[in-house]
């Protein structure tokens, strides 16, 4: 959110007044620069929310040329319009076709990019950078505007000259042809999917499609839509779940644990679809205080800007921590360097018009299918997969066999899966077992794999010693010791059979430990 100087202290920062200084409430110039340098040292980019659509009355840009009788900018004001040219304006509207405003914007951009070394801007109300006179017509305001496009291309060019590859993110919400053109030019566009995702998490079918929440659904060439489920301007998912969620018999999305699990399902679609994303603070813990919560915890529309409770205690709640962990798993997967190119590609499709929604990522390094039942009743759907074969559930001990390009799958309400085309897991079994134990570097093969009744483990020991073979399920649960004893250096073989703890089909881990060193192999068990 904005941190350039604004009126007052307790504010979101959109009542801008001075554009070249950090707000006094946030700290000194040196402290801000140290913060940015510290973030950069940890590989974190810092993006500034910049408010140059308007300026408030304390600004000298308004006061130097002010019509006190009209209580508005004077007609000779070089920066400001005498009256706003568009709806939703607050404060005094900038004339972005004015040479003085163009110079001001250029100076502001260069100042923060070069003096503070921020990594770019999220531009507030970028659709307001227009001189078309539509003070009350919202639809006309959002129509394709060639002048506005020219203004934004010039600002983007100025940014890139000052700091190459700096982020230019627009809160635009204009005609799709205009946004697509700006995206093709290199800019990122704010993608508000709050209402659609919340309809789905609450268990309603009306307006619950995600298709427009992703660049491919809009027909864009570039993955430049910054999709979000929550923001400072939108109601919290979990608040509406608990207050207005749908029910069917004993199943209710208003229940805390159920609502959190449905938010987890929504987060899988939000996070694992290619393209940049943004999240709002505590959304990963199911924040359930309304956006209009007052300081006394009552709810009133006049309290939109009031300070909200800080709920770090949510981490002590098992269900909330489960949502937190799911966010971490999804983001860890998409940030894996091996898959980065797939998560910025256009090689995906989203099918989200029905109650069972799915996403297919047909990447070069990884292929994923995300599916979930957003209804409040069980549902069956024929889900497409990019290829036939065995698909592995990444976060549960399951697999899915696919023949003919799709599979008929029945899901309980709120049930979801993330399937991958290869035998990988974000569960790091060595973290569950002995994270500090060195790797046992020996060749191991298990055949057949998948296992139906029995399989043979062949391994080559490079030293003699006390050896154990142990089985674990995908969540790190102990499935029993298969063998323990002394083994000589050389070729070894062991027959593994299903035991009472390894009856369920799914993914298992076979741990071979020798002389305080460990080797992990994966084993798929089928019916």
Which segment, 145-159, 379-393, 473-487, is predicted with the most confidence on average? Answer: 145-159
Length of the chain: 527
Count CB neighbours of 460 within 10 A.
12
368 and 466 within one domain: no
Pairing, β 506-514 against β 517-525: antiparallel
Rounded to whole angstroms, how far apart are CA atoms 133 and 130?
Answer: 8
Number of folded domains that form the chain:
3
Residue 510 belongs to what domain range? Answer: 430-525
353 and 490 within one domain: no
Provide, rounded to the nearest whole percent, the portion of the chain with pLDDT above 90.
81
pLDDT of 276-289, one tens digit each?
A: 999 999 999 999 99
Q: From 420, 447, 464, give the residue that closes a domain.
A: 420
**For residue 286, what are the CA distances in angstroms to 106, 230, 254, 262?**
40, 11, 12, 10
Output the pLDDT for position 197. Answer: 98
402 and 466 within one domain: no
pLDDT of 173-217, one tens digit each?
A: 999 999 999 999 999 999 999 999 999 999 999 999 999 999 999
438 and 383 within one domain: no
Identify which of 200, 194, 256, 191 has the alpha carbon closest to the alpha carbon of residue 226.
191
pLDDT of 443-490, one tens digit each?
A: 999 999 888 888 999 999 999 989 999 888 766 678 888 999 999 999
Instruction: Examine the pLDDT at 430 and tell me if it is beyond 50.
Output: no
pLDDT of 360-369, one tens digit each?
A: 999 999 999 9
Band (pLDDT 50/70/90 cuts) for residue 435 is low
CATH number for the domain that contains residue 94: 3.20.20.80
136 and 3 within one domain: yes
Q: From 192, 224, 250, give the residue that closes a domain.
A: 192
Answer whether residue 126 is part of any domain: yes
CATH number for the domain that contains residue 469: 2.60.40.1930
Which pTM value belongs to this model? 0.83
Token pair for residue 231? Answer: 């923001």
Token pair for residue 161? Answer: 């000259």
> How far from each other are the two terminal CA atoms of the chain, in whole angstroms?
53
Residue keyed to tokens 């674990």: 472
Query: CA quadruple 314, 317, 320, 326: dihedral positive or negative?
Result: positive
Answer whether residue 334 is part of any domain: no
Rounded to whole angstroms, how far apart are CA atoms 305 and 10?
Answer: 8
**For residue 320, what are the CA distances in angstroms to 207, 316, 396, 421?**
27, 8, 18, 29
517 and 439 within one domain: yes
């Amino acid at each position: 959110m904005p941190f350039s100087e604004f009126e007052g202290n307790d504010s979101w920062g959109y009542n801008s007044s001075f554009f070249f200084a950090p707000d006094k409430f946030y700290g000194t110039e040196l402290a801000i620069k140290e913060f940015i340098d510290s973030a950069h040292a940890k590989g974190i980019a810092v993006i500034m929310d910049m408010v140059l659509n308007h300026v408030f009355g304390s600004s000298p840009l308004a006061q130097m040329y002010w019509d006190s009788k009209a209580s508005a900018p004077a007609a000779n004001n070089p920066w400001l319009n005498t009256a706003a040219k568009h709806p939703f304006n607050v404060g005094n509207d900038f004339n972005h076709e004015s040479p003085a405003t163009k110079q001001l914007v250029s100076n502001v951009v260069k100042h923060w990019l070069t003096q503070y070394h921020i990594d770019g801007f999220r531009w507030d109300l970028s659709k307001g950078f227009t001189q078309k006179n539509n003070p009350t017509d919202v639809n006309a305001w959002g129509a394709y505007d060639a002048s506005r496009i020219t203004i934004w291309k010039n600002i983007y060019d100025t940014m890139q000259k000052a700091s190459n590859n700096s982020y230019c993110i627009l809160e635009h919400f204009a005609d799709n042809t205009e946004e697509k053109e700006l995206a093709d030019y290199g800019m990122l566009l704010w993608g508000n999917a709050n209402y659609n995702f919340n309809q789905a998490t609450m268990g309603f079918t009306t307006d619950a499609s995600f298709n427009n929440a992703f660049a491919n659904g809009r027909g864009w060439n570039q993955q430049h839509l910054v999709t979000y489920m929550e923001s400072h301007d939108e109601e919290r998912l979990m608040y509406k779940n608990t207050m207005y969620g749908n029910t069917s018999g004993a199943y209710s999305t208003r229940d805390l644990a159920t609502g959190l699990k449905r938010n987890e399902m929504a987060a899988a679609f939000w996070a694992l679809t290619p393209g940049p994303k943004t999240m709002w603070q505590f959304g990963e813990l199911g924040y359930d205080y309304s956006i209009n919560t007052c300081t006394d915890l009552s709810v009133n529309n006049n309290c939109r800007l009031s300070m909200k409770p800080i709920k770090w205690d949510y981490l002590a709640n098992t269900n909330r921590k489960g949502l937190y962990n799911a966010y971490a798993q999804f983001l860890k997967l998409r940030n894996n360097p091996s898959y980065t190119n797939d998560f910025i590609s256009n090689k995906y499709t989203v099918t989200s018009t029905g109650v069972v929604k799915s996403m297919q990522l047909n990447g070069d390094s990884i292929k994923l299918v995300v599916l979930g039942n957003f209804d409040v009743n069980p549902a069956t759907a024929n889900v497409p997969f990019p290829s036939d074969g065995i698909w592995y559930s990444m976060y549960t001990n399951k697999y899915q066999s696919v023949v003919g390009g799709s599979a008929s799958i029945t899901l309980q309400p709120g049930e979801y899966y993330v399937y991958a085309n290869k035998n990988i897991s974000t569960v790091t079994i060595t973290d569950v077992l002995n994270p500090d134990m060195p790797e046992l570097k020996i060749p191991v093969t298990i055949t057949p794999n998948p296992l139906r009744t029995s399989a043979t483990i062949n391994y080559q020991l490079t030293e003699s010693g006390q050896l154990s073979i142990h089985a674990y399920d995908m969540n790190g649960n102990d499935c029993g010791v298969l063998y323990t004893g002394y083994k000589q250096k050389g070729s070894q073989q062991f027959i593994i059979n299903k035991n009472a703890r390894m009856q369920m089909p799914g993914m298992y881990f076979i741990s071979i430990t020798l002389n305080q060193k460990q080797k992990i192999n994966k084993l798929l068990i089928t019916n």
